[in-house]
Amino acid sequence: MGTVDESFYAHPYVEHLEIWRSPQTTKGWWLHQNSAQLETASPATVKEFISQILEKYQEFSQYKK
């Protein structure tokens, strides 16, 4: 789940629909680049992952105005 730059992998594995039923409890790894541009794997829930992506898009859309 995610873009080329960022993705999420549930661990332990869950069915795709389960991710959307329980995003606050589905745990796994958020793969992204940190501020030093290094690939990083951070523990997160799906809810945390999606919240981070939405925050970045909101910041980006403010710059476009």
Q: What is the pLDDT of residue 37?
A: 79
Cα(15)–Cα(17) distance, integer angstroms: 6
Domain that holds residue 20: 7-64
Q: Which of 37, 49, 40 minimizes the C-alpha distance to 8?
A: 49
Q: Is residue 1 part of a domain?
A: no
Number of domains in the chain: 1
Give me the residue label for tokens 């990083």. Answer: 40
**Which residues of the chain are under the pLDDT cut of 70?**
1-4, 60, 63-65
3-state class (DSSP) for residue 17: helix
Q: Is residue 58 part of a domain?
A: yes
Q: What is the pLDDT of residue 48?
A: 96
3-state class (DSSP) for residue 53: helix
